Structure 1
């Protein structure tokens, strides 16, 4: 039996994104309803895994201790809401390093596939940007766009043709969870 898995982006999906990067626990602010949404996934039997670009490391804007402090704060805050994240996969590279793990490349998702020993076909990937959706498509995941981060300007519009054709659009992570757990009315088809 294959495990029930959902893969999430971090910034703009779970917490507020920042053009200045999230460099400390004090700068990490959960989006409304996101922690409860993850808790609901856990209680429905889903394993939740993050796949996040963290180019601030490669750019020298923060170090591993700072990233670990942010993730520790996130996990503690989530645990207080009754949820958990099973694993965090991140790309530490700057955009000019041409690595295989920086989304839209599928390397992080392939690492998740290898770690869990599963094919990602049909596994939901939730993110807030075109590069998240492109990585999901390449890895065989089902792309789910939330309009809480970099794609907030998409609201009320048809997705540009650069997005994978089967991308599903949700107002936020809670709306995605409503959809996944059975309330399809929270999804806007594209």
Structure 2
């Protein structure tokens, strides 16, 4: 079986709720956070796959169409690829935040479906996010979790940015493989 890193999008890969952008509703509003491309490149060297798993309630709330969201994700993948960083797949929950769907994080359906599709072993994989819902979804999927921010009591580790998280994840994998 393969191993993968599952990344939340907003607040992990790109800016959100900053001076420059409130929400990403079109490709021109997507600004990568510092060090993201380098971090993903590092993860690409250790993992079979790097995925993005994101709640995008703005679709269900009518702030953007699903076709626009797909354009945003295609743009994100293109910009990262130009830096040598590869995102293998992007999945999202388009439903309203309180819709009660099975795919919205903190549920793990998006993660579980990707793991099944790509033959990924959750025990060898990591979920990285900046909210409790990301961490809970990763735990439900039976993988290690990394919180982007100050701390999260449920997460296995916490770092201020994806670069720090990627370095720790790669060290953790190397250590596990020595056992």
TM-score, length of structure 2 as denominator length: 0.87
* Structure showing greater relative contact order (alpha-carbon pairs closer than 8 Å, 6 or more residues apart): 2
CA distance in 2, matches of 1:30, 1:92: 21
Q: What is the aligned partner in structure 1 of residue 11 from structure 2?
A: 12
CA shift for structure 1 position 20: 4.2
**For 2:35, which of 33, 43, 46 is the aligned residue?**
33
CA distance in 2, matches of 1:81, 1:53: 25
CA shift for structure 1 position 84: 0.9
Q: What is the aligned partner in structure 1 of residue 158 from structure 2?
A: 169
TM-score, length of structure 1 as denominator length: 0.83
Q: 1:35 to 1:109 in 2, by over 3 A?
A: same
Q: What is the aligned partner in structure 1 of residue 121 from structure 2?
A: 119
Structure 1 residues not aligned, in runs of 5+? 148-154, 185-190
CA shift for structure 1 position 109: 1.2
CA distance in 2, matches of 1:129, 1:71: 20
Return 86-95 or 34-43, whichever deviates more. Answer: 34-43
Structure 2 residues not aligned, in runs of 5+? 174-179
Q: Are residues 1:99 and 2:101 paired?
A: yes
Q: Is the 8 A contact 2:115 2:122 kept in 1?
A: yes
Q: 1:45 to 1:106 in 2, by over 3 A?
A: closer
CA shift for structure 1 position 121: 2.2
Superposed counterparts of 1:121-160, under 5 Å: 121-147=123-149, 155=150, 159=152
CA distance in 2, matches of 1:118, 1:46: 9
User: What is the number of equivalent residue pairs in this alignment?
Assistant: 170
